Structure 1
């Protein structure tokens, strides 16, 4: 069997590579029981040409409940213009923010601006 295992999985284990036999041995490490980091907003977004564009909305997430769709353009978060947020700050808030945190988002869809509130939650 072949496949890829990302570093977010491998870092949970002590890994032993047996190259001669083509085998990888995994033993639970210190982070084995920790929950996988995943967006608590349910938004996947990217910064392109100075704007932040939604490229994915997780089914059953706070973002889906708030009505977000792919290609929506984020304009402000908690009243702060999007160009004043670094990508790391947005990740810390929207991906890593505490469950129950209410976030106010202003976005544009088809030249119409909308403002919604969503409550961060563990999506997976």
Structure 2
């Protein structure tokens, strides 16, 4: 394993934004990355780094702004894209609840959903 360090948080923010635009571009080049667990983890790590960097810079309002910006329910078109894409998985109809929720998380990354939103997206109804 290796660590990558950037000299400034603006570079990470720019890279995160570009990577998200690419993933959700609906282009054929991006399609393989939409369902990639590694790409999903990288996007989540970048978002966490941006939020942590804002917190370290004593800017909790900006950190919260980044968290809010990546809530999937605030992005209707991307919500619809994720909902359609998750069903393309060849095992979608036979996945366990945990597998379906995990797949939704991969496809949506770096956007996050509440537990009830994840369950609804996975077709599992509301969380108890």
Name the TM-score, length of structure 2 as normaliser: 0.23
Give the structure with the larger helix fraction: 2
Larger Rg: 1
Give the structure with the larger strand fraction: 1
Name the TM-score, length of structure 1 as normaliser: 0.23
